[in-house]
Chains A and B, each alone.
Chain A
Amino acid sequence: MVYSASRWCPKMADLPQNAAVVIVGSGPAGLAAATLLAEAGVGSVIVLDRAATPGGVPRHCAHSPYGLREFRRLMTGPAYARALVARAKAAGVTIHTGVNVTQLLPGPEVAVTSDAGPSRIAARLVMLATGARESTRAQRMIGGTKPAGVLSTGALQALIHEDGLIPFRRPVILGTELVSFSAILTCRLAGIRPIAMIEETGRTTARKPSGLLPFALGIPLLTGTSVAEVEGRDRVTGIRLAGAHADRLGADGLIVTGRFRPEAALLPQSHLVRDPGTGGPEVDQFGRCSDPCYFASGNLLRPVETAGWCWAEGRSVGKAMLRALKGTLAPDLGLRIRSSGVSALVPQRIAPGTAPPLDRLQIRVAVPSRGRLSLQVDGSEVAGRDLRALPERRIVLPLPRPGALQIDVSLAQDQQEGP
């Protein structure tokens, strides 16, 4: 029996009742903001993470490239995570792991539970940086049986990195996002040989050069194909495909990759407004939620960007929090942007003020799309372009200036391309 409270959890006597800033989540975005705020001397900055070790998703991605933007060198995910943690601690940030936030309250105040039991922490400001997770096989409505051996990339990487456990030898990888190629790298390092990569649309979602990886490694990339059925009772014994390659593969596992969604379970039961498009909190260009004492950054805002992007975003939103603490950020939450034809938009509101941390409109589409993307302010187009867009890929527009009476983002479809 491995159960050991002392090994798994820190002593909770040191969990404070008050802090200047509480940051929920110790991934790149949360640690970047925490480091900046602590360096600026705002008082106590504490980071809460429910995991046993801080660092977020990169701590399990045992491959490059990480750290170029932040440390100006090529690092693996775990090394990068350790470096971010070390830098935050050096700046005076206190990181509490093994602490679950159970409720977000006005004040701001967060309810938590840890080995010490439930308690509350009040703060001047709170940042939510809880990241994102991949969609499950249930959410993707994959049929068949439910044997062991169907995993997300995140679960696979954690199993291999933390436990040294190899759940399968010949898996099929579903998806072709950036994370799907991370799954390939993880497999290769662990001696797992994926037998195929499956993509429902006609082309790879991730941009080159990642898209070339399967070819380089001799892994067949089957586009226009979906997973119809998982076979096997206790273990996966086969994967049945539908579409262009309606075939049965003798796989012993399935890696369900990508289609990230924000880890936003705290929102529905909180007083904060949730944006239906992203699934994360509704924010203005300063990363402020509908309660201006709450900020958010990183992949909680919008699945999904790289660790480097999240780090930069966390840092920028941290700067806005610094302004809020100094009282130089106007409390006006601004105007909600109207949108059509796109599935998600960040930020969703434009507030008065300059030097916004979210300095571009980040846009996503739900289906492969082709048409004119247009930003209209008070009825006239201020930016626009014709584009071909794939789901999960980044689309950006310039940020509209504050002060407008009406802001619209629209994607007029020429045609909707088939899957």
Chain B
Amino acid sequence: MTEHSPLTDDLFDVAVIGAGVVGCALTRAFAMAGARAILLEKAHDILDGASKANSAILHTGFDAPVGSLEAACVAAGHAEYLDIHDRLGLPVMKTGALVIAWTEDEEAALPALMEQARQNGVNDVHFLDRTALREAEPGLGPAARAAFRVPREYLIDPWAAPLAYLTQAMLHGATLRRNCPVTEGAFDGAIWRLTTPQGTVRTKAVINAAGLFGDRVDQMLLGRSNFTIRPRKGQFVVYDKPAFDLATHILLPVPSKTTKGIVVCRTIWGNLLVGPTAEEQEDRETAVLVPATLDALRKRGEEILPALAQHDITALYAGLRPATEEKEYRLTRHPENMVTVGGIRSTGLSAALGIAHHVLDGWPQGFDQGDGQGTGWTAPAAVWPKVPNISEAGPRDWQSPGHGGILCHCEMVTEREVAAALTGPLAARSLAGLKRRTRVTMGRCQGYHCAARLGQVTDGVLSQPMVPEDG
């Protein structure tokens, strides 16, 4: 069945709603366990909601509430990512993090935070006094007093990871439907019927991974929801590649009750990032860039790393995290054969693989493959697709022959990379999707040099075209 054919009478074991990083990881886990899984995404492409903007850190969970589901899922997700990243061709940049105290109060809070880290199983944290801190990061502003190092906080590619999870899921038989919002659903005690513009999906179970719309999907399908999404906006400033050298560690502040605070870190693509803010808002779809806030972010960045003042900005972006009225994840198993994975605020990228296994492990029934001969059936051996590396952590396509020339000169994206991202079962459907797969136009010129060529190669192949159809 292709993505364009009408939905048939197939009965799925599980339908996952929402192709963010959590939905992709869930689909992977279920497909690899032998379930017939379908992933339903309302947008033109995957990763179009909360997962499109984050700080791209693979967290250890050192600062999560001790004993929480979040702490467990982040730890498990971190471990599994390290276990599988090589086989999927996913990069990791092993930078480590410093939690830096900038005031006396913050310095006083460090020992308790280190103790919390140890209770979360992150035993390799160690303290750095002012001298050791300067030695570790000579570029830090003069107000930095002390820190502790969290060696296993790493940087990853936040879009390649879910893309790889879903690619693997599809190789294990999972179905993806984009432009496919669920508009209605009914459970008859055994089977769910989900109404979508592409037809009715019949499934034994439903997982709600709808992120910023998690509570709405619960309301729609169950008539109830035990949480309310309170979108929390994060704005970011991305600096040009020369700024990459200004700091080696991920520079974290002492976290507050509500947020991890403003981070300065490298990106896996060779830039330097400052952000995010934490701003509550009502709107679930639109994250507006606010120049005054971005200016403040920039100033904060320059307090942390004074040399940033001499560096150019490459990009600004903003995203929304699906926060709720509580800090903890909102994971509920409903009697109607449905699981809600809600309120995955800001640790979704790190925790996704852990969340997926948590949900799978608690699954009440196994998966027989259609013919009802469930007993004795085992899932086929795992297939490991390699996703293309577009990070600076590994060799790039432009370094090998036959790449067809460079299309995006700032990010050194080749014609061959773009062509690959526009073909196959998980081909990009929107310009944003193509950017996330290749980084095209995301560099310092923001399309000045490559917009025309990009217009040519995407003309007629995106469901959300680069220029209006009537143009």
A residues near B (Cβ < 8 Å) are: 1-5, 8-9, 50-52, 60, 98, 100, 102, 113-118, 133-134, 136-139, 141-146, 148, 151-152, 154-156, 158-159, 161-163, 165-169, 228-229, 233-235, 261, 263, 265, 268-269, 276
Q: Decide if B410 touches A234 in the complex (CB within 8 Å).
A: no
Inside 8 A of B196's CB, which chain A residues have their CB? Answer: none
Q: Decide if A162 touches B456 in the complex (CB within 8 Å).
A: yes
Inside 8 A of B314's CB, which chain A residues have their CB? Answer: 138
**Cα separation A118 to B402 with both chains bound (whole Å):** 10
B434-458: CB near A (< 8 Å → 1, else 0) gives 0000000000111111011101110
For A116, give its contact among B312, B401, B410 (CB under 8 Å).
Answer: B401
Q: Decide if A143 touches B447 in the complex (CB within 8 Å).
A: no
Inside 8 A of B431's CB, which chain A residues have their CB? Answer: 148
B residues near A (Cβ < 8 Å) are: 238, 241-242, 285-291, 294-295, 310, 312-317, 398-406, 409-410, 412, 415-416, 418-419, 422-423, 431, 444-449, 451-453, 455-457, 459, 461, 464, 466-468, 471
**Cα separation A183 to B446 with both chains bound (whole Å):** 18
Q: Decide if A146 touches B445 in the complex (CB within 8 Å).
A: no
Find the B residue at minimum CB distance from A97. B405
Given contacts A113-B406, A133-B448, A162-B455, 7 further A-B contacts (CB under 8 A): A52-B405, A102-B412, A145-B288, A151-B447, A168-B471, A229-B288, A276-B310
Inside 8 A of B295's CB, which chain A residues have their CB? Answer: 141
For A151, give its contact among B294, B400, B422, B451 (CB under 8 Å).
Answer: B451
For B402, give its contact among A2, A117, A263 (CB under 8 Å).
Answer: A117
For B415, give its contact among A8, A102, A116 (CB under 8 Å).
Answer: A8
Find the B residue at minimum CB distance from A154. B448
Inside 8 A of B461's CB, which chain A residues have their CB? Answer: 1
**Cα separation A113 to B315 with both chains bound (whole Å):** 26
Inside 8 A of B471's CB, which chain A residues have their CB? Answer: 165-169
**Cα separation A161 to B471 with both chains bound (whole Å):** 14
Inside 8 A of B287's CB, which chain A residues have their CB? Answer: 145
Q: Decide if A5 touches B288 in the complex (CB within 8 Å).
A: no
Inside 8 A of B418's CB, which chain A residues have their CB? Answer: 3
Q: Decide if A163 touches B452 in the complex (CB within 8 Å).
A: yes
Answer whether A141 and B467 are a contact pair too, CB < 8 Å, given A113-B398, A133-B448.
no
Inside 8 A of B402's CB, which chain A residues have their CB? Answer: 5, 115, 117
Inside 8 A of B419's CB, which chain A residues have their CB? Answer: 1, 3
Q: Decide if A2 touches B456 in the complex (CB within 8 Å).
A: yes
Find the B residue at minimum CB distance from A227. B291
Q: Is the interface of A mostly helix, strand, loop or mixed?
A: loop
Q: Decide if A163 touches B399 in the complex (CB within 8 Å).
A: no
Q: Decide if B467 touches A148 in the complex (CB within 8 Å).
A: yes
Inside 8 A of B400's CB, which chain A residues have their CB? Answer: 117
Q: Decide if B412 touches A100 in the complex (CB within 8 Å).
A: yes
Q: Decide if A8 touches B404 in the complex (CB within 8 Å).
A: yes
CB distance from A363 to the nearest CB of B (A): 21
Q: Decide if B467 touches A165 in the complex (CB within 8 Å).
A: yes
Find the B residue at minimum CB distance from A137. B446
Find the B residue at minimum CB distance from A242. B291
Inside 8 A of B399's CB, which chain A residues have their CB? Answer: 113, 117-118
Show 9 A/B contacts (Cβ-Cβ < 8 Å), sorted by A: A100-B406, A114-B405, A136-B446, A138-B238, A138-B315, A148-B467, A163-B456, A228-B291, A233-B285
CB distance from A122 to the nearest CB of B (A): 20
**Cα separation A98 to B241 with both chains bound (whole Å):** 23
Find the A residue at minimum CB distance from B298. A141
Inside 8 A of B459's CB, which chain A residues have their CB? Answer: 2, 163, 165
Inside 8 A of B415's CB, which chain A residues have their CB? Answer: 3, 5, 8
CB distance from B242 to the nearest CB of A (A): 4
Find the B residue at minimum CB distance from A156. B451
Q: Decide if B444 touches A265 in the complex (CB within 8 Å).
A: yes
Inside 8 A of A261's CB, which chain B residues have their CB? Answer: 312
**Cα separation A155 to B288 with both chains bound (whole Å):** 24
CB distance from A127 to the nearest CB of B (A): 19
Inside 8 A of B456's CB, which chain A residues have their CB? Answer: 2, 162-163
Q: Decide if A50 touches B406 in the complex (CB within 8 Å).
A: yes
**Number of interchain pairs (Cβ within 8 Å):** 158
Answer whether A138 and B316 are a contact pair too, CB < 8 Å, given A159-B455, A233-B285.
yes
Find the B residue at minimum CB distance from A98. B405
10 residue pairs, one from A and one from B, having the closest CB atoms: A117-B401, A158-B452, A3-B419, A155-B451, A136-B446, A166-B471, A5-B404, A268-B242, A162-B452, A98-B405
CB distance from A111 to the nearest CB of B (A): 11
Q: Decide if B406 touches A235 in the complex (CB within 8 Å).
A: no
Find the B residue at minimum CB distance from A50. B409
Q: Decide if A233 touches B286 in the complex (CB within 8 Å).
A: yes
**Cα separation A269 to B243 with both chains bound (whole Å):** 11
**Cα separation A190 to B451 with both chains bound (whole Å):** 17
CB distance from B101 to the nearest CB of A (A): 30
Q: Decide if A138 touches B446 in the complex (CB within 8 Å).
A: yes
For A159, give its contact among B317, B416, B452 (CB under 8 Å).
Answer: B452
Q: Decide if B288 touches A234 in the complex (CB within 8 Å).
A: no
Q: Decide if B316 touches A155 in the complex (CB within 8 Å).
A: no
Answer whether A3 and B416 are a contact pair too, CB < 8 Å, given A117-B400, A154-B448.
yes
Inside 8 A of B453's CB, which chain A residues have their CB? Answer: 52, 162
For A100, give its contact among B398, B444, B455 (CB under 8 Å).
Answer: B398
Q: Decide if B422 touches A1 in the complex (CB within 8 Å).
A: yes
Answer whether A134 and B448 are a contact pair too, CB < 8 Å, given A52-B453, A114-B405, A141-B316.
yes
Inside 8 A of B310's CB, which chain A residues have their CB? Answer: 276
Q: Decide if B404 touches A133 in the complex (CB within 8 Å).
A: no
CB distance from B390 to the nearest CB of A (A): 15
**Cα separation A263 to B316 with both chains bound (whole Å):** 20
CB distance from A33 to the nearest CB of B (A): 22
Inside 8 A of B289's CB, which chain A residues have their CB? Answer: 142-146
**Cα separation A149 to B406 with both chains bound (whole Å):** 24
Answer whether A155 and B423 are a contact pair too, CB < 8 Å, given A114-B405, A235-B468.
no
Inside 8 A of B457's CB, which chain A residues have their CB? Answer: 1-3
For B291, give its contact among A52, A100, A142 (CB under 8 Å).
Answer: A142
**Cα separation A162 to B456 with both chains bound (whole Å):** 8
Q: Decide if A1 touches B423 in the complex (CB within 8 Å).
A: yes
Inside 8 A of A276's CB, which chain B residues have their CB? Answer: 310
**Cα separation A139 to B409 with both chains bound (whole Å):** 18
**Cα separation A139 to B410 with both chains bound (whole Å):** 15
CB distance from A34 to the nearest CB of B (A): 21
Find the A residue at minimum CB distance from B430. A234
Answer whether A8 and B405 are a contact pair too, CB < 8 Å, given A155-B448, A166-B467.
yes
